[in-house]
Structures are given as C-alpha cells and as structure tokens.
Chain A
Amino acid sequence: MRNYDIVVIGGGPAGLAAAKSAYENGCHSVLLIERDTKLGGILNQCIHNGFGLAHFGEELTGPEYAHRAMVELQETASGVEILLDTFVMEITSDKTIYAMNKTDGYFEIFAKAIILAMGCREKARGALAIPGTRPAGVMTAGLAQHYVNIDGYMVGRKVVILGSGDIGLIMARRMVLEGADVLACIEIAPQPGGLARNITQCLEDYGIPLYLRQTVTAIHGKERLTGITVSEVDENYTPIPGTEREIECDTLLLSCGLIPENELSRKAGLAIDPKTGGPFASESLETSVPGIFACGNVLHVHDLADNVTKEAIEAGKAAALFVGGTKETTSKDAIDNPKEFPRKVVKPVEESKQEIADDGAYGVRKMTCIICPRGCQLSVVLSDPPIVSGNSCPRGEEYAIAEVTHPMRTLTTTIRVRYEDGSLGRISVKSNGEIPKEELFELAGKIHHTIIDAPVQVGDEVLPGVVATSGT
C-alpha cells in the first residue's frame, strides 16, 4: 500500500508538465506513472519538427520536446517519483489506483488527487467501417510511424493516405523520404483536417495530390493490400454511386481522427462529454469526481503539444491547490458549468487579406507560411526584391522571400546506431538548421547509408550537418 498526495497517470507531454507544475505549486508528494519504459509518450515517435515554438520559444522535434520536458522536470521538480513500465489497471472514484509492473507486482496506491494524462488513440479501420477485405497493409498512420521511426521497418512501397489529419500528412512526407511512392491523400471533408503548413511542407513539397470530398469505399487484396476503391461523397459524406475509381497500392494509412483514451476514466465513474470524448471538466480542469483532474489529449484532442503543456500546467496547479486545502472541489461545476474547449474548427484556408494587386509585370505567388502553426496565407510579388503580404510577423516575410529565391527545409529522419554489444538500433536526427530543399533527398540518402556508434546524446553532431534529436 502506498500513499501519495498526487498521482499523475501518463508520462507524455501532459503528464510531464502536470507533475512538474504540481510539484512547483507546493505539493511534494507526487508520483508519475508511465506504461512505457521511457517518458515522453507519443512524442518519441514524432521525429518531425514543429514543436515547442510556443512553450520553449524555439522549433523542436518531438523527441527533443520530450527531452526538454524531462530535463525541466528533473531540474525543478526532482522530488517527483516516477514509475516506468507500469500499467494502471483501474482507478476508483475514491482515488485508489490499481497498478502493476514486473518489479513490484500488482499493487494499490492511495492518492488525495489524481491527474489523468493518458492521451488519445487513433480511430482504427473499424470505427470507419470501410468495407472490403482485411489484408495486411492497412494501418493507422501512428502505427506506421512507430514501425518506421522507432523500429526502422518499411511499411509500404505504394502508399495512399486516408484522412488529412496531421499524423497522416507527416507520414506522407516520411514515407516519401524513406523511398515510397505516396500516390494520394484522400479527405472526405471539403477542407483538409491538418494544419495548413503541413499541407505545404508534407504534400505540396513532394507533389502528393490531395483529393477533397472523397473517401475509400472498398479495400482489395487477400493477403496484402492490392488496391482501394475511391469515391466522391455528397454533402452528407455519402459516397456518390458512379464516381468510383481504383487505385493500385500496397499500403493504406489511416489518419481519420483521434479519440481521448478514457477507459480508466469510465471505470472511475467520470462523466464523459460526448462532444469531446473526454471527461467533463470545470474551469480548473477538475472532473465530475472530486480530486480527479484531467489535461491534454485525454481531455480533448489538441492540435499542438505546446497547448497540451499549457493546459497541464494549469491542471497541476489546480491539483496542488486542492491537495493543499486552499481550493474547494469544483467537481460540481464539471457537470453544471463545464469548461468549453475550443472545438477544432477546420475552416477553409483564408485568402490573404491585404493582397497586393498584380500589376502584370512580375506575377504573384501565393503560399502558406510553414514557420509556425498559424499557417499565414502569403502573397509574393515576384519583383526584385520580392514584395510579401499576408504575413503576421517578420519571419513570414523572410520565409516567403526564401521560398521564391532559394527554398529551405529542415530534414528530420532516423539513423542506425551500433551499440557496444554489436546490436543495431535507431535514433532520430535532423539537419542542423535548414538546408536547400533540393538537397533533402541527398542528405536523407547519406544518413540512410550510415551507421553511427553509440553512445549518442541529444544534440550530438552525428554526421557533418546532422544532429541527434534523441539519444541512445
């Protein structure tokens, strides 16, 4: 039997920030439970960049973001206890936690407060009820991401992405860089689901067509996927007969939405909001059960890890105040007056507002800025020097000018590592800053053919112009 003031369930970005915040707000009896053998959660397989601008003030890859969050936790909240490789089986409304691992066996923990930070999972094929056969080669984009980025397996050669969620877009680029043909990205809605900048840097950069108002209506192939049928849909997302076409492919990656992971919450009797899929929560992120708080994607699906961190800091603070007795429970509010979360509204890409008229002399190029998640729509008059409009910050102007003169990109990929015992593993790497867009494949190829020796630490230069974003 163990007692803690606060137990945080889940060691991804939400759990890391919530534990740190609870500790910093005066609660020094905090336990963080993570089911994996390392902290960081799904960030570890998100080797691409685009994280951290809001919270850390610089652009990071997923593993780097996780690393920073862990370092912060160790530095400022070193008293937080961490249990890795430990699975929470059940939580009860009186805040008893049943957990187990190989070292401690099956055990109970009593907490004064619990912070749920279990994240979310992907919608699988079943939830979409796509008819057809059930061959190998149909999987969620996140599973493919694990196989490719963590395990180093090639999951397909001729790939179609269904759904234009960010993970799908990111995996489209990733598969191209790994040598696959990505034939299409198919989205049932009239607008893409992912960030505008990911449409630019993951699809447009590689000439991958995005088909809107279409969906997969049949899956073919007995053992391995051999092809799919794609149909146009009407305004109710119902396939329109007669619009079917076949695409030959061996892999279909699904990126059709995320679902908060609330099996533990349901067992504990938390009221679940059917709109978000997560628990109802008060302004201070307390659920309908007094003393159980929630943050991050378990509460509602966020677009950005930075926003998860921000919310988790609030949850950690609220839990600490609750435990410290300086704050009454707000669990009634969770039901009576629940906090509204910004529902993800995907709106059609806005046209640039202050567009400069093309006087015909130079021509105008329009583009989505990829510098930050905002995705400003830029117009560039191709004069010398080019004139940029539509940007919200000076970096947008820099980006647009570079884009029409010498486009630059950051490469993120993985590299093989040989450990001391001779075995091979894989870590994530990125180009040291941006490189000319046309050199992406060359550098990716060089990295692919290299095996580096362990040990490697985050930030080490492993090849000229290539730095490690995760360590051995």
Chain B
Amino acid sequence: MKYDIAIVGAGVVGASIAYNLIPYDVSVLLLDKNNDVAMGATRANSAIIHAGYDPKPGTLMARLNVEGNRLCEKLCADLSVPFKRCGSFVLAFSDAEKNTLQELFERGVKNGVPDLRIIDAGELREMEPGIGEEAVAALYAPSAGIVNPWELCLAQAEVFVRNGGTFVGNAEVTAITKSNDAFSIETTNGEFETANLILACGIQADSVHGLIAKPDFQIVPTRGEYFLLDKSEGSKVNHVIFQCPNELGKGVLVAPTIHGNMICGPTSEVLKEDIEDTATTSAKLAEIKTKAARSVSNISWRDNVRNFSGIRANSDNDDFIIREIPDCNGIFEAAGIKSPGLASSPAIGPYMVELLKSSGIALPEKSGSYDMTRKKIHFRDMSNEDRAKLVASDPAYGRIVCRCEGVTEGEIRDAIASPIPPCSLDAVKRRAGTGMGRCQGGFCGPRIVEVLLAQKEDTSPLSILQDAEGSNLFFTRETEVES
C-alpha cells in the first residue's frame, strides 16, 4: 500500500509528529531502524523538561522549548506519563557567575519563561538544603520539570498505533527513490511507498538526508555520560540543579528523576569514529563525581544503580532544523534536535503539522471520533486505598514481579498487550518499569523471560533478547559435557 506520510525515526520527535497527525484522515507509517521505539537519545538523556532560558531569543529553539514546556503537563496527563513540574536552579559559585545568571534571566524573560527569578543563597538553601557550600545565588525557574522520556515517546507512539497508525521496527532505511508522485523507501525490513516523507533521525539525520540530497548541515554526535543513583539518594534533591557554564566547560546537573532516583551528568564528548558508541569511560565518570559534588555535597556514589551514556544530535547549526528539505518537495525533516529537544518535542509535532499544511500537504480532518488519551496503571504511585480496590477488582495487580520498583504482574500483562508489544527484557522495562531499580533485573529477570516466552507459542529461550537485535541472553547447550 502507499502511505500518505512516512516518518523515519521513532524517537520522541518522530513519535510527537505521528501523535499529532492522529486527527487527520491520512495513512501514516512510523519506521525505526531498531526493534522498538525510543532507542536513541530519547532513552538516554537527562529527562529534563527545560524551562527555556537557555536558547537565544528569536530562535526556533527558544520558541519550541517554552511552548513544549507549556504543553508537556497536559500531554503527560492525557497520556498517563509521569511528569513533575519540580522547578530548576542554575547555581552561581562566584560573583562572576552571578552575571551569567542575570544574562540567563534576561534571555528567559525574552523567551517568555514564566516566573523566573534570581534568589540569594539563603532562600536557595531554604528550598534545597543539600546544596553545596560554594553556591552564592541561583536562577530559579519554577516551570522546569522532570519526565519519563521514553514513556513520553512510547505513549504517543502507542496512541498513534491504536488510532490506526503503523509502526515498523528493525527497518533501517538504505535507499530513498522518487518515482512519479511517490517515494519508495528501501529498508532492512521491507520496502514502503509513501507520498510524503518526514525524517526525524536523530544522530543519523545528516546521513539519512544524504540518501536524498547533499546535506547542508552536519550532525556532531555528542556523548554524555551519567550516574543514576539509588532512591536513597533521590530524596536528597527536590529540584533540577544546573551549574553555570564557565571556562572549565558546561558543568553537570544533579536532579531527581521521575522514578525517585538521582541523576548526575552529562559529560560532553564529540564522537568521531563510532557515532553510536554509548560506552561509559572511567575518566568521564570521575569528572561527573567531581563536578556534581560542587552542587550537592553529600552524594553517596556507592549507591550507584547504573551508569549510561546517550548521544545528543548536536549539529553545526545553532538552531533546530525543522523544514521542508530545499528542492525536495514532499520531504520534511526535524534535524539537529539537540538539547532542549525533549522539552521541545511536545511542540515539534504540532509545528511539523503546521509546516505540512503550509506546504500544501492535504491533511483533511477525520470525520469520525478519535481518542488521543491513554490510561495506564502505575501501581506504586497509587494510594493504599486505591491499590486495595484495584487488586480486589483484578488480582493480577496483587502480585509483585519487580521487587525494587514494585511492578505488578498486571502492569506487565498491560505492557504485553499494549499496541506496540515489547520484544525484549528492556522493552518490558521501558513499558512497565521492571528492572529499573537497584538490583537491575537480578530478581525479576527470570520472571520477565517467562512472560516473554509465554507471549507466543513455541518461542525458544534462545530468541529472548536483553535489548536490541543480537543481544540474545541464552546459548544452546549442545556443546556441553560430552568429554
């Protein structure tokens, strides 16, 4: 079949575009090279909904950041995605840095960031008692928030599929050709035809663009490493705590996560050879410890749960690149979506839809009704009374499978039955939250394997994946004990 619109890249940007196309009577295909959505920068970032004082006034980035931040609360409420407007501080460690705060403040005001103000050390410590001794003042942005980034992506992609959209994974685009009034997309998982094409390819934005035309920009893949600390540390801070950029670099943030952990990072390192190298390094991890200790003094690093790194799609362009590709009618792109890309993403989808309309793409409104909301049970966030009621009505929620995060059998069943079923242990993790905690799946791993095996008849344990294709967990026993 020929689709009206194909979106390449199922990160939070591609998912936002797909989600915002639901009201229109068009057939939409969402493709990704990986076996699940949210497999790039979307799943490995600071998980911050920035307030919007960072981007230069007048840029698309400034506009979409502030707009995305504003939209995020309702979007997350509609989609049952955990989000908290916890506010952020930028710390000044010196008088010189106070000037930086002033600059950021003025930029923020121009960008339309609400309720910004600079606070002194006393007020800062009252609001955030654990703050490091050196801090002399802070820029306080009450509108900043924290979110579960991959769930924001998943939720939009799921609702898109539930409304008739198509998601195809394991489909890396290898060629794009134009024939008559359609584009033919060759992928590693079949060939697709579409009238219009939207590229949202993250760190591959320039190379996929290059399949059609010579790109006029270059992605500068920038790796950031992180510590994710135990929930015992998560309660030590209540706000996102940034540092001023200075001669030593950009500084790192310390923040609570929406799951109740503490996150510290990121570092910044341009990848030259393997642009998908998400390894962590001892040097950068050490750097995070040193820098983060200035913001919050009593971080217990031995309560580390996980180190990870994500790759930001920085580009040699100062702004986001969201446009119809010059001289390529019908092909659009959202490229160079660097930080604050996650915060901007709720506004990128609507912006792209407007762009499509203004470029003359036919987007007739659906005549029937459609539902853009999603209901999801997060058992551990419920009150005792609500838990009791839920378990009484559905006993599957009465059995804990993941002990660290308190995830129930019912929630795993919901994940399996979701519009984009999980195909790996980590895909279940992204949907249900299993294995996110301090034991990192040591306890629930075998139980999730059981669930994945039961999903389809005759599934071999050998096919069970930890995460991406090729991450098989088990081997055959053929070679054993004959000697």
A residues in contact (CB < 8 Å) with B: 35, 85, 87, 89, 98, 100-107, 121-122, 124-127, 129, 131-137, 139-140, 142-143, 146-147, 150-151, 153-157, 177-180, 217-220, 222-224, 239, 250, 263, 266, 441, 444-445, 448
Distance between Cα atoms of A423 and B471 in the complex (Å):
28
Q: Are A126 and B475 in contact (CB under 8 A)?
A: no
A206 CB to nearest chain B CB (Å): 12
Whether A87 and B400, one on each chain, are in contact in the complex, defined by CB atoms closer than 8 angstroms, is yes
Q: Among residues 440 to 482 in chain B, which have CB atoms less than 8 Å away from a CB atom of chain A?
A: 440-443, 445-446, 449, 461, 465-477, 479-482
Beta-carbon contact of A124 and B481 below 8 Å: no
Judging by beta carbons under 8 Å apart, are B442 and A35 in contact?
no
Cα distance A155–B469 when bound, in Å?
Answer: 17
Is there an interface contact between A448 and B481, defined as CB atoms closer than 8 Å?
A: yes
Check if B285 sits within 8 Å of A106, measured CB to CB.
no
Known: A100-B391, A136-B466. A147 touches B281 (CB 8 A): no
CB distance from A147 to the nearest CB of B (A): 6
Q: A250 vs B404: C-alpha distance in the bound complex, in angstroms?
A: 27
B380 to A, closest residue via Cβ: A89
B468's closest neighbor in chain A, by CB? A223
Q: Are A154 and B446 in contact (CB under 8 A)?
A: no
- Contact at B440–A448, with CB atoms within 8 Å? no
B71 at the interface (CB under 8 A from A): no
Q: In the complex, what residues of B have CB within 8 A of residue A105's CB?
A: 388, 391-392, 395, 398
**Given A89-B406, A131-B282, A146-B446, is A157 in contact with B391 using a C-beta cutoff of 8 Å?**
no
Among the 9-residue stretches B15-23, B178-186, B305-313, B349-357, the one with 4 or more Cβ atoms under 8 Å from chain A is B305-313
Q: With A105-B388, A178-B477 in contact, is A131–B279 under 8 Å at CB?
A: yes
Bound-state Cα–Cα, A150 to B461, Å? 14
6 interchain pairs (CB within 8 A)? Answer: A102-B409, A131-B279, A133-B279, A142-B442, A147-B449, A179-B481
Q: Does B163 contact A (CB under 8 A)?
A: no
With A105-B388, A127-B302, A127-B304 already in contact, the answer to whether A154 and B398 are too (CB < 8 A) is no
Q: Could you say which of B301, B305, B440, B477 contacts A179, with CB atoms under 8 Å apart?
A: B477
A86 to B124, CA, bound (A): 44
Identify the B interface with A (CB < 8 A). Answer: 227-228, 232, 276-282, 285, 301-308, 384, 387-388, 391-392, 395-396, 398-400, 403-404, 406, 409, 438-443, 445-446, 449, 461, 465-477, 479-483
Query: Among the listed B280, B388, B470, B481, which residue makes an inter-chain contact with A441, where contact means beta carbons less than 8 Å apart?
Result: B481
Instruction: Chain B residues near A445: list those with CB within 8 A.
Output: 480-483
The answer to whether A153 and B474 have CB atoms under 8 Å apart is yes
Q: Are A106 and B384 in contact (CB under 8 A)?
A: yes
Chain A residues with Cβ below 8 Å from B481 are 177-179, 441, 444-445, 448
Cα A249 to Cα B453 in complex, Å, equals 26
- Indicate whether A132 sits within 8 Å of B280 (C-beta atoms), given known contacts A87-B400, A121-B443: yes
A142 to B466, CA, bound (A): 17
| Alpha-carbon separation in the docked complex, A220 to B280 (Å) | 10
* Nearest A-chain residue to B279, judged by Cβ: A133
Which one, B278, B307, B472, contacts A126 given CB within 8 A? B307
A106 to B397 CA separation, bound complex (whole angstroms): 9
For A143, the chain B residues whose CB sits under 8 A away are 441-442, 445-446
Query: What residues of A have a CB within 8 angstroms of the CB of B449 in the complex?
Result: 147, 151, 153
**A106 with B280: CB separation less than 8 A:** no
Beyond A35-B403, A102-B399, A136-B471, 9 additional contacts (C-beta under 8 Å) are A136-B465, A150-B446, A151-B449, A154-B477, A155-B473, A179-B479, A179-B481, A180-B480, A263-B404
Give Cα distance in the complex from A15 to B6, angstroms: 58
List the A residue with the shortest CB-CB distance to B445: A143
* A122-B279 CB under 8 A given contacts A129-B285, A178-B480: no
Q: Closest 9 A-B residue pairs measured CB to CB?
A: A179-B480, A223-B470, A136-B466, A106-B388, A102-B395, A223-B471, A136-B471, A87-B400, A445-B481
Assembled-state Cα–Cα distance A425/B110 (Å)? 67
A154 touches B474 (CB 8 A): yes
> What chain B residues lie within 8 Å of A217 (beta carbons)?
282
Q: Which residues of A contact B479 (CB under 8 A)?
A: 157, 179
Q: Are B474 and A147 in contact (CB under 8 A)?
A: yes
How far is the CB of A38 from the nearest CB of chain B, in Å? 14
Closest B residue to A132 by CB, please name it: B279
Residues on B with C-beta less than 8 A from A250 are 475
